[in-house]
């Protein structure tokens, strides 16, 4: 502050001081001090104004800023809203009007040839340097001579910000660079100071800025050839953010407006309206005038001509017809009602749709769709390529009813500048004659057909051919550009007759973008003076396109599995030279290296089955083994099917570096299994191999923040030969002495081989994985190497591994356990099941649960037997007595019968002396025997027994007779 007053005192001493008015000075802030404070001081606009200035006052804090739509009123030091018709970016400044060079911008020209040339870059034309940047209303243009033109702008930022701008840089004969320097003339960091050429539109560029002083430089240097014209670089819409505030609002430029106070930007006026500078509303043009969007004035509408409309075709309808449609060019600026104007032709005329392009077919809705892979078409219907042929892939466009899906047309401000017209595609009249109308086709890659791949050095990779025509009344230009990652090609035509061909060879397999661009004139004008100039493309043909369509099929030889030739169906082989396919036998696969001939069918190994594609044999991890004199064994190796990793014991180099041989194994699995993978993470190639068994060398290290470094991967087995208990299969052996075993259960061996050959292994490598049942091993990766071949191989070609696991045991069945029945205790008997020892199974059936059943003890049966015997004895005695009694009765009756017979032989008894039938005589009841008790009868019976051992049976009749005789003798 003292320095400022000292300056004022010096001015007063050397000049005549006068009183100052408010218009004679303006306010500024001093630099911020270490406390973040500053002062507002009045700075005179003229050197001799030094009295009557306001005293310095305390300013706002250095962190103070205004928002968008506001400006800082230095008199009150408060933010105020911008009035209607103006705008403010707050902490940014923008330059979008270039009717004159804005304040703080500086431009000058510099001679590039060291003063030896004839061009004077500092020469003035109408007090303006010749070789400078020149304002052109909406933009500022660079020089067009062999000079260096510099445009600079200095700005002080209170906080980090950005600078952005739009540029148009169409001519690479000018070098265009942009860079930023600080107040010490040191360039700030940036990716590249050299700007990229614009394709055909305005390009946007943005750079970050540091706080403090920044000087922005735009510099161009032209190099003209004899007879050539240099196109200038154009700049517009420069915006800088990071300033603390703006002390004034900017007026809206013509063609824009802001209706409300506090606007951050001005809105452009719509078409057919206009506005002047600082406008708050847009005004409608009169009926006979027009205005483009964002215009500052209206123009008279010219009479409509044939160049003010264009024609196109509608998509084909279900009847295969298309309509010819006429449309005015939008926005429509002509007047069809004034004298001499033409009217729009009537639309709707039906025409027959052109055919589909080759490789496409007509659908039921009359649209064109591409044929699927393996089919070809001439534009009507798709047909399958015969066996032994390959489709010729590419794109061929010669009929234009609709724009192809992989093509697009565009122009700055609008799209669809190229329209289809049946036999060709053409450029429609644009808004301006200086517009670049582009047609873009992108192709992702190229590949030679299989039949030509063997002679790839002499065969061209791809070729694009197109036929075109240009009609020009001015200096029109027709460009063809081919842009890829490593190449950029451009060819330019002027006026060209009908059916002019052009061909371009494609040398590398990379994505290429083909662009056809038409520009009617280089003159900068807003009128459509050359709308009748047109470019037409009749056909485009690109060969050997990956993902293209086929118009024909080419005969080829089926010599590789990667061939594009149409193969026989899965499981079939081709009869040599005939193209006839025959089915292979059951459970075979097709050899990839020989798909022709019956020898192509290879039988799958034991316990494997072919996949769906008939290209390999697989094991589903299940196995049934029939043992001698025993029940079959069932295996399920599914728990071991996941990729398993293990490594050998450590090795050491001559310098003491430790390393391992790391193995990855994918034992088995169904189709779609995850293969074992070994990678190389040391080199940039990142090579990896995939198969059943692979090996890599692993070095523990901290290189690249990795725990291990893997290198030198190679395949040991990429195909499964078979699964068996035999020790040899298809020339691959797995001797038992490598892994001795005392178990009677056979090992299951998986046999693999690899198609990769080396100088040491001319027949390729092989591997055997011997699975051994061990129920005590719970780990799934208990894999060991032979004791005498610690690296897994003894010859470097055949590898052997032993995998012990409980999952390598056969599934348990009923034959693997037995039952134990306990004694009957207190009426309960238990049945327990235990495994047979030694246990040689796992999984499968589990042990049944213990059974408990009711039972009867020996004491019970003894008691039951005695009781039953006693009852049986009593019953037997009772039966014996019963039959004895019956016998006595019969004896009595027999004796009586005999007595009644009188002792004469062969003389039948009389009727009254016959044996008395039961129930006939009641005298039986008089027997003494029947009258006595049971024991008395027994006693009597014993007495009546004679000396000869026979019983004397007293008969009732004889005793009575004897009594009577005695009585008669007594009487006598």
Q: Which residue has the tokens 């040839």?
A: 113
| pTM reported for the whole predicted model | 0.47
Whether 158 and 98 map to the same domain: the answer is yes
Q: How confident is the model at residue 223 (pLDDT cuts 50, 70, 90)?
A: confident
Predicted confidence (pLDDT) at residue 931 exceeds the cutoff of 50: no
Secondary element (H or E) of residue 41: strand 39-44
Predicted confidence (pLDDT) at residue 936 exceeds the cutoff of 70: no
- 581-614 residues labelled b (16+ CB within 10 A) or e (exposed): eeebeeebbbbeeebbeeebbbebbbbbebbeeb
- Tell me, yes or no, whether 39 lies in a domain: no
pLDDT, tens only, 502-553: 999 998 888 899 999 998 887 765 567 787 889 999 999 999 999 899 998 8
pLDDT at res. 671: 85
pLDDT at res. 929: 42
Q: Three-state SS string across 930-966, please?
A: HHCCHHHHHHHHHHCECCCCCECCCCHHHHHHHHHHH
pLDDT, tens only, 437-486: 889 999 988 888 766 665 556 678 899 999 999 998 888 889 999 988 77
Tokens of 56: 């310095």
- Name the more confident of 226 and 690: 690
- Name the more confident of 138 and 52: 138
Residues 6+ apart with CB under 8 A from 44: 20, 24, 25, 50, 53
Whether 682 and 798 map to the same domain: the answer is yes
Predicted confidence (pLDDT) at residue 377 exceeds the cutoff of 90: yes
Predicted confidence (pLDDT) at residue 607 exceeds the cutoff of 90: yes
- Tell me, yes or no, whether 514 lies in a domain: yes
CA gap 162, 203 in Å, rounded: 17
CA gap 583, 20 in Å, rounded: 110
Predicted confidence (pLDDT) at residue 380 exceeds the cutoff of 90: no
Whether 835 and 775 map to the same domain: the answer is no
From 809, 839, 872, the end of a domain falls on: 809
Give the distance from CA 533 to its chain's centroid: 48
CA gap 879, 867 in Å, rounded: 18
Using alpha carbons, select from 206, 267, 268, 217 the residue that is nearest to residue 242.
Answer: 206
Predicted confidence (pLDDT) at residue 915 exceeds the cutoff of 50: no
Whether 435 and 410 map to the same domain: the answer is yes
Residue 137: DSSP 8-state? B
Tokens of 206: 């943005």
pLDDT, tens only, 420-441: 888 899 988 776 777 788 899 9
pLDDT at res. 17: 43
Whether 391 and 537 map to the same domain: the answer is yes
pLDDT, tens only, 656-710: 788 889 999 999 988 888 899 999 887 777 788 999 999 999 888 655 455 678 8
Which residues lie across from 194 on neighbouring strands?
Answer: 177
Whether 418 and 446 map to the same domain: the answer is yes
Using alpha carbons, select from 608, 602, 610, 600 the residue that is nearest to residue 561.
Answer: 600
CATH number, position 627: 2.70.130.10
Q: Are 272 and 281 in contact (CB under 8 A)?
A: no
Whether 698 and 847 map to the same domain: the answer is no
pLDDT at res. 742: 84
Secondary element (H or E) of residue 410: strand 407-411
Using alpha carbons, select from 164, 180, 189 the residue that is nearest to residue 93.
Answer: 164
pLDDT at res. 19: 44
Which residues lie across from 799 on neighbouring strands?
Answer: 767, 793
- Tell me, yes or no, whether 266 lies in a domain: no
What's the longest Cα–Cα distance across the chain? 227
Whether 771 and 836 map to the same domain: the answer is no
Q: Are 301 and 288 in contact (CB under 8 A)?
A: yes
pLDDT at res. 59: 81
Whether 839 and 777 map to the same domain: the answer is no
CA gap 820, 834 in Å, rounded: 8
Predicted confidence (pLDDT) at residue 367 exceeds the cutoff of 70: yes
Q: Are 309 and 531 in contact (CB under 8 A)?
A: no
Whether 536 and 644 map to the same domain: the answer is no
Predicted confidence (pLDDT) at residue 2 exceeds the cutoff of 70: no
Q: 74-83, 400-409, 906-915: which has the minimum mean pLDDT?
A: 906-915
- For residue 516, give its domain range: 354-553
- Rama region for 741: left / alpha / beta (φ>0; ψ in -120 to 50; rest): beta
Q: Are 432 and 533 in contact (CB under 8 A)?
A: no
pLDDT at res. 637: 93
- Tell me, yes or no, whether 268 lies in a domain: no
pLDDT at res. 458: 63
- Tell me, yes or no, whether 232 lies in a domain: yes
Using alpha carbons, select from 905, 907, 925 the residue that is nearest to residue 916.
Answer: 925
CA gap 168, 141 in Å, rounded: 9
pLDDT, tens only, 770-803: 999 998 888 878 899 998 888 889 888 999 999 9
Give the CA distances from residue 326 to residues 310, 337, 403, in Å, rounded to whole numbers and listed in that order.
Answer: 6, 18, 17
Q: Which residue has the tokens 């007779």?
A: 961
Secondary element (H or E) of residue 863: helix 858-900
Q: 383-387, 887-891, 912-916: which has the minimum mean pLDDT?
A: 912-916
Q: Are 343 and 309 in contact (CB under 8 A)?
A: no
pLDDT at res. 563: 59
Over residues 408-430, mean pLDDT: 78
Residues 6+ apart with CB under 8 A from 80: 70, 71, 72, 73
Residues 6+ apart with CB under 8 A from 653: 659
Over residues 201-225, mean pLDDT: 85
Q: How confident is the model at residue 225 (pLDDT cuts 50, 70, 90)?
A: low
Q: Three-state SS string across 44-57, please?
A: ECCCCEEECCCCCE
Predicted confidence (pLDDT) at residue 913 exceeds the cutoff of 50: no
CATH number, position 513: 2.60.120.260
Which residues lie across from 328 on neighbouring strands?
Answer: 309
- Rama region for 657: left / alpha / beta (φ>0; ψ in -120 to 50; rest): beta
pLDDT at res. 526: 55
Q: Note the helical H segments in 410-495.
A: 450-453
- Name the more confident of 541 and 906: 541
Q: How confident is the model at residue 228 (pLDDT cuts 50, 70, 90)?
A: low
CA gap 940, 927 in Å, rounded: 13
Over residues 310-332, mean pLDDT: 84
- Tell me, yes or no, whether 274 lies in a domain: no
Predicted confidence (pLDDT) at residue 650 exceeds the cutoff of 60: yes
Using alpha carbons, select from 633, 600, 638 the residue that is nearest to residue 619.
Answer: 638
- Tell me, yes or no, whether 49 lies in a domain: no
Using alpha carbons, select from 180, 202, 201, 200 the residue that is nearest to residue 189.
Answer: 180
Whether 97 and 239 map to the same domain: the answer is yes
CA gap 568, 561 in Å, rounded: 12
Predicted confidence (pLDDT) at residue 124 exceeds the cutoff of 50: no
- Phi and psi at 682, nearest 5°, equal -95, -50
From 501, 523, 553, the end of a domain falls on: 553
- Phi and psi at 205, nearest 5°, equal -140, 140
Give the CA distances from residue 363 to residues 121, 197, 674, 953, in Å, rounded to whole numbers and listed in that order.
Answer: 67, 44, 41, 130
pLDDT at res. 564: 64
CA gap 346, 564 in Å, rounded: 51
Whether 549 and 419 map to the same domain: the answer is yes
587 three-state secondary structure? coil
pLDDT at res. 933: 55
Across all residues in the chain, what is the average pLDDT?
81
- Name the more confident of 431 and 197: 197
- Tell me, yes or no, whether 190 lies in a domain: yes
Over residues 350-370, mean pLDDT: 88
- Phi and psi at 926, nearest 5°, equal -90, -5
How many domains in the chain?
Answer: 4
From 526, 553, 580, the end of a domain falls on: 553
Predicted confidence (pLDDT) at residue 924 exceeds the cutoff of 50: no
- Name the more confident of 87 and 22: 87
């Amino acid at each position: 502050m003292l320095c400022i007053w000292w300056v004022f005192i010096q001015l007063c001493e050397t000049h005549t001081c006068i009183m100052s008015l408010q218009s004679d000075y303006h306010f500024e802030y001093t630099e911020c001090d270490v406390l973040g404070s500053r002062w507002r001081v009045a700075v005179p606009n003229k050197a001799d104004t030094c009295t009557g200035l306001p005293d310095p006052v305390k300013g706002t804090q250095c962190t103070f800023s205004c928002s968008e739509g506001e400006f800082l009123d230095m008199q009150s030091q408060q933010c105020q809203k911008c009035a209607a018709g103006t705008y403010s970016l707050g902490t940014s400044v923008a330059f979008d009007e270039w009717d004159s060079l804005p304040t703080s911008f500086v431009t000058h020209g510099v001679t590039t040839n060291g003063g030896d040339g004839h061009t004077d870059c500092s020469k003035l034309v109408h007090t303006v340097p010749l070789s400078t940047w020149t304002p052109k209303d909406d933009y500022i243009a660079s020089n067009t001579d062999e000079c260096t033109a510099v445009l600079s702008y200095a700005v002080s930022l209170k906080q980090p910000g950005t600078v952005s701008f739009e540029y148009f840089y169409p001519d690479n004969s000018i070098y265009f660079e942009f860079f930023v320097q600080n107040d010490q003339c040191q360039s700030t960091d940036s990716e590249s100071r050299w700007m990229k050429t614009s394709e055909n539109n305005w390009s946007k560029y943005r750079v970050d800025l540091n706080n403090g002083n920044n000087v922005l430089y735009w510099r161009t240097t032209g190099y003209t050839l004899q007879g050539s014209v240099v196109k200038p670089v154009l700049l517009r819409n420069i915006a800088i953010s990071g300033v603390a505030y703006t002390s004034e609002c900017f007026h809206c430029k013509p063609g824009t407006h802001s209706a409300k106070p506090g606007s951050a930007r001005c809105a452009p006026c719509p078409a057919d309206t206009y506005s002047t500078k600082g406008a708050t509303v847009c005004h409608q043009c009169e009926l006979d005038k027009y205005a483009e969007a964002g215009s500052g004035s209206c123009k008279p509408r010219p009479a409509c001509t044939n160049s003010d409309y264009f024609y196109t075709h509608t998509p084909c309808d279900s009847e295969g017809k298309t309509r010819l449609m006429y449309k005015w060019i939008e926005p429509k600026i002509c007047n069809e009602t004034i004298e001499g104007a033409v009217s729009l032709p009537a639309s709707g005329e039906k025409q027959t749709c052109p055919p589909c392009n080759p490789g496409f077919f007509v659908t039921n809705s009359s649209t064109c769709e591409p044929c699927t892979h393996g089919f070809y078409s001439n534009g009507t219907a798709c047909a399958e390529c015969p066996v032994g042929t390959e489709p010729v892939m590419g794109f061929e466009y010669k009929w234009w009813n609709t724009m192809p899906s992989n093509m697009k047309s565009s122009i700055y401000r609008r799209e669809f500048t190229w329209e289809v017209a049946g036999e060709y595609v053409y450029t429609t009249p644009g808004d301006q004659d200086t517009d670049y109308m582009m047609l873009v086709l992108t192709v992702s890659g190229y590949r030679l057909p299989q039949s030509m791949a063997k002679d790839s050095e002499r065969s061209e990779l791809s070729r694009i051919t197109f036929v075109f025509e240009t009609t020009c009344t001015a200096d029109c230009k027709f460009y063809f550009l081919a842009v890829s990652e490593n190449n950029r090609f451009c060819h330019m035509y002027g006026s060209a007759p009908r059916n002019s061909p052009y061909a371009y060879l494609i040398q590398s397999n990379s994505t290429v973008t083909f662009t056809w661009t038409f520009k009617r004139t280089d003159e900068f004008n807003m009128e459509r003076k050359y709308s009748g100039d047109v470019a037409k493309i009749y056909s485009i043909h690109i060969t050997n396109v990956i993902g293209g369509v086929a118009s024909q099929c080419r005969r080829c030889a089926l010599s590789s599995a990667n061939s594009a030739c149409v193969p026989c169906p899965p499981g079939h082989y081709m009869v040599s030279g005939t193209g006839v396919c025959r089915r292979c036998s059951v459970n075979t696969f097709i050899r990839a290296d020989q798909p022709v001939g019956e020898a192509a069918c290879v039988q799958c190994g034991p316990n494997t089955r072919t996949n769906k594609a008939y290209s390999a044999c697989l094991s589903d991890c299940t196995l049934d083994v029939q043992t001698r004199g025993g029940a079959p064994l069932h295996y399920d190796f599914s728990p071991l099917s996941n990729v398993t990793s293990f490594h050998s014991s450590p090795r050491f180099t001559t310098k003491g570096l430790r390393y391992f041989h790391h193995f990855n194994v994918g034992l088995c699995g169904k189709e779609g299994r995850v293969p074992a993978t070994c990678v190389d993470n040391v080199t940039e190639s990142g090579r990896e191999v995939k198969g059943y068994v692979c090996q890599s060398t692993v070095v523990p290290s901290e290189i690249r923040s990795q725990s291990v470094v893997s290198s030198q991967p190679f395949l040991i087995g990429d195909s499964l030969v078979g699964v068996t208990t035999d020790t040899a299969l298809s020339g691959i052996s797995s001797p038992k002495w490598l892994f001795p075993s005392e178990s009677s259960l056979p090992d299951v061996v998986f046999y693999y081989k690899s198609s990769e050959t080396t100088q040491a292994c001319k027949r390729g490598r092989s591997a055997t994985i011997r699975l051994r049942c061990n129920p005590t091993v719970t780990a799934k990766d208990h894999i060991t190497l032979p004791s005498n071949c610690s690296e897994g191989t003894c010859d470097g070609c055949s590898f052997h591994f032993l995998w012990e696991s409980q999952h390598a045991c056969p599934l348990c069945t009923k034959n693997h356990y037995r039952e134990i029945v306990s004694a009957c205790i207190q009426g309960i008997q238990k049945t327990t099941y235990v495994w047979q020892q030694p246990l040689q199974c796992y999984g499968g059936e589990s042990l049944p649960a213990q059974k408990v059943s009711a039972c009867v003890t020996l004491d019970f049966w003894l008691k039951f037997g005695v009781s039953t015997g006693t009852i049986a004895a009593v019953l037997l005695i009772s039966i014996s007595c019963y039959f004895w009694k019956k016998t006595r009765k019969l004896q009595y009756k027999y004796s009586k019968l005999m007595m009644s017979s009188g002792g004469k032989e062969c003389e039948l008894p009389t009727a009254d002396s016959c044996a008395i039938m039961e129930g006939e005589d009641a005298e039986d009841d008089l027997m003494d025997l029947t009258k006595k008790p049971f024991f008395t009868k027994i006693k009597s019976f014993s007495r009546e027994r004679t000396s000869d051992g026979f019983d004397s049976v007293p008969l009732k009749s004889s005793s009575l007779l004897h009594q009577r005789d005695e009585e008669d003798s007594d009487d006598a």
